[in-house]
Chain A
Amino acid sequence: MLSQLILFGVSMGCLYALIAIGFVMIWNTAAVVNFAQGEFAMFGMFLAYTAHVMWGVPLWLSLPLAVGGTAGLGYFTERGLIRPILGSDPLSVIMVTIGLQILFSNGARVIWGTQPFHFPNFLGSNVWRIAGLLLSYQSIAIIIIMITIAVLLHILSQKTRFGKKLRAVAQDREIASLMGIKVDQTIAYGFALSAGLAGVAGVLMAPIIFVSADIGLPLLVKSFIAAVIGGFGSYPGALIGGILIGVMDNLIGFYISTDYRDVMTFLILILILLARPEGLFPHHR
């Protein structure tokens, strides 16, 4: 039982981590704390639902469409609303993203209504029995996708030109622009990439939880906490922070009490932050 709980926790944690990695990416490149990050995941979920369930688009096409649509939303959000205020007072930037969070979640409510939807389980509900362990396809699929994405992101950031631009902008925007990097454009693509990551998380999450318009804020809180536990700025930190939250949620929910699950999880997180005030993997800019 314990190992299954941990497995499911890890798979949920991977999804939080995907959102958190996007969150950290936006923070690193644009110095924006994006409160609308959870809404990107929610938007991805709804796009997949609309394409697959409402319009009957086949699954292999509707999922990439949803992720691409979410990335597009991220891109245009940056171009239209975030770019003009980049570099002004951090609190007004936060306020804009809070406004966007309200705008997106209520926009979804207006478009898709307040009813939660059920998304068909495309990851398979079967389980593998290995040495007395029950491993669900779903959790394993999510973990494999997460590992693939992590490897791809690593290659992207270390080997490709775009990744190097992203890192240069994150290190020093002014010098990056002196080196001939189009800073604004790089930030916009960074936004698109991180919104796309949140979209992937949303799509993978859709069969596990109900698709509803007010899922964004809880997801944001979880992934924000994951990012902070990981050191706010470190990608491996965000990954481990997310997994930590997923596993703790599940273990505490099963062994102690579902009612007090959040209380215990948050208390442990507070204790972690008290012991390591700069997160598990301090990131110095």
Chain B
Amino acid sequence: MYKRITLLLISAVLIALPWLLPPYPMQLMVFVGVFAILTLSLNLIVGYVGMISLGHAGFFLVGAYTSALLTVDFGVSFWLTLPVAAILTAIFGLCVGFPALKLSGHFLAVITIAFGLIMHVLSVNLEWLTNGISGISNIPRPSFFSYVLRTDAEYYYLVLAVLALVVMVFYQLIESGVGRALKAVREDETGAACMGINVNRVKVVSFVVSAAIAGIAGVLYAHYVRYLNPDSFTIDISIRVFIMMIIGGIGSISGSLIGAFAVYTLPEALRFLNEYYYLVFGALVVAMMLFLPGGLVSVSAAFQGKTIVHPRVLLWFSLKGGRKEDRHGRNT
């Protein structure tokens, strides 16, 4: 009951947001929405299946460019390019996901880094297709019949609707047998296989779904900024999304949403720092991980009296003296 009321309140605030916020923060909220979708897609494979991907900017790029090229060059409607881009990204996801079956951990991380870099280099160099570094401009906004979603508020509702849909699908997936299969694969592949879970299929399907969702985020991004160039899809974006996911709280839907919001709006809150911003940002990430390794969502666990900071960290920084611990955090 309590949970349901909170959920209702949050959705009410999210829906009322265009009336509450001035124009510029509204634009930020659209980006937050797009990046929340991207973070969720990454969280699906990292948080639930335990496969590391550092190349999600690649899928983001494929989605964005597919939709932009189809609408600009061929005048296809946004509502048609959205599924087409999602399917194409899913195919790319399949191509990267298959090697993922054989590889684990760092080996997979390298493949995904390489994928992201290859996509970026291709978007710079395939000038006949992507127009190179000059990019694609005049990408149309989507329209309902003849009504064009011109304002930020209207686009915000579109992003919010897609985000809500993704969250709902995610929630259903996680709470169902499929979600339990994903977590089982994360915890112990052999054990999961013994319980009759087709580990290979779980991995490939989740990778493909994750890629498709990232592609959808890319489409939403392209039609909002209306101008694409390869600089928006570097490895920095993959790392940024990774940071969003972990800062928010890995393996948690609300964590991804909070993380995307926190990391995307932080530059605005810290604007007074000017060129020192990234320095402070890096320090914040380090401090966060030292003192709040469970991410921002673990703050609510702290209110329930659980320890969220690793005892070793507290000891190291002498925040809690009097106990001697060995390197595994056990009392001696």
How many chain A residues touch the partner (CB < 8 A)?
48
Contact B286 A273 (CB under 8 A): no
Q: A95-B289, A109-B275 are in contact. Are A103 and B313 (CB under 8 A)?
A: no
| A106 interfacial contact with B, CB 8 Å | yes
Proximity string of chain A (85-127) to chain B, C-beta cutoff 8 Å, 1 when within and 0 when not: 1111101110110111111101101100000000000000000
| A147 interfacial contact with B, CB 8 Å | no
- Whole-angstrom distance between the Cβ of A73 and the nearest chain B Cβ: 14
- Whole-angstrom distance between the Cβ of B301 and the nearest chain A Cβ: 15
Contact A277 B107 (CB under 8 A): yes
**B251-269 at interface with A (beta carbon < 8 Å):** none
Q: A107-B279, A110-B279, A217-B235 are in contact. Are A84 and B117 (CB under 8 A)?
A: no
Contact B106 A232 (CB under 8 A): yes
* Residues on the A chain within 8 Å of B328, using CB: 87
Contact B117 A266 (CB under 8 A): yes
Proximity string of chain B (26-52) to chain A, C-beta cutoff 8 Å, 1 when within and 0 when not: 000000000000000000001000000
- Whole-angstrom distance between the Cβ of A171 and the nearest chain B Cβ: 16
| A279 interfacial contact with B, CB 8 Å | yes
Contact A273 B276 (CB under 8 A): no
| A17 interfacial contact with B, CB 8 Å | no
A52 to B121 alpha-carbon distance, docked (Å): 36
Contact B313 A87 (CB under 8 A): no
A184 to B286 alpha-carbon distance, docked (Å): 20
Contact B275 A84 (CB under 8 A): no
Q: Size range of the interface on B? A: 35 or more
Contact A98 B275 (CB under 8 A): no
Contact A88 B293 (CB under 8 A): yes
**B272-307 at interface with A (beta carbon < 8 Å):** 275-276, 278-279, 281-286, 288-290, 293
| A43 interfacial contact with B, CB 8 Å | no
Contact A106 B103 (CB under 8 A): no
Interface segment among A54-62, A149-157, A193-201, A255-263: the answer is A255-263
Proximity string of chain B (80-112) to chain A, C-beta cutoff 8 Å, 1 when within and 0 when not: 000000000000000000010011001101110
With A270-B111, A273-B99 already in contact, 19 other A-B pairs whose C-beta atoms are closer than 8 Å = A33-B106, A85-B310, A88-B293, A95-B289, A96-B289, A99-B282, A99-B288, A101-B282, A103-B279, A107-B282, A110-B276, A177-B327, A224-B113, A225-B110, A259-B124, A263-B122, A263-B125, A274-B102, A279-B107
- Sample (8) of A-B pairs whose CB atoms are under 8 Å apart: A87-B327, A91-B246, A99-B284, A99-B289, A102-B281, A221-B235, A259-B125, A277-B103
For the complex of A and B, the 5 pairs showing the least CB-CB separation, nearest first, are A103-B282, A99-B285, A102-B282, A99-B286, A266-B114
